[in-house]
Amino acid sequence: MSRTILIAEDDEMLMDLYSSAFEAKGFTVLKAFNGKEALDFLDEDASLVNFILLDIIMPKMDGLEFLGKVKKNDRYKNIPIVVSTSLFNPEDEEEAMKLGAKEYLVKSQNTPTQIIEKVEKYLN
C-alpha cells in the first residue's frame, strides 16, 4: 500500500526532521511550507496523498483556513489530517476538531516517532 504524507510546516528545521523520520518508516513525503502550497498539491493530484500533517501558524494560508477548505472539497475531504502545532491553544484545538482534524498535537509534547505512531493509527 502506498503511504504518502503531505506535511504542511513552515519551519524548515522541523520539516527536515519530520521528513527524515517519515521517510525512514517507508513514507513518501510531500512538502508544503504554507497552507496555499499544500492546497495546490491537493488540487494537482489529491489521489497521491494518504495523510496530512498540518501546522497551524503558517504564512499565506494558516492551517485552520486550509483545514476548512479541505473538508469542504469532495475530492479530498476524506484524507485524514492531524494538526501539529507549537502552542497549545484550546480555541484552536476546538476549531480544528470541529473542522474535521483527527487529532490536535503539541509539537513539544510529541517526538517525531510518537507523531508517526499516531499517523499510522489512521492508515491501518
- Mean per-residue pLDDT, 99-104: 95
Cell for 91? 480555541
Amino acid at 32: A
11-58: per-residue pLDDT in tens?
999 999 999 999 999 999 999 999 999 999 999 988 889 999 999 999
61-91: per-residue pLDDT in tens?
999 999 999 999 999 999 999 999 998 889 9
- Mean per-residue pLDDT, 94-109: 94
Strands ordered across the beta sheet of 4-8 = 28-32, 4-8, 51-54, 81-85, 103-106
User: What's the CATH code of the domain at 36?
Assistant: 3.40.50.2300
* Domains in the chain, number: 1
> In terms of residue numbers, what domain contains 88?
4-123
Query: Given this model, what pLDDT does residue 1 score?
Result: 57
Query: Given this model, what pLDDT does residue 56 score?
Result: 94
49-62: per-residue pLDDT in tens?
999 999 999 999 99
Can you give the C-alpha Rg of the chain in angstroms?
13
Residue of 122 and 70 predicted with greater confidence: 70
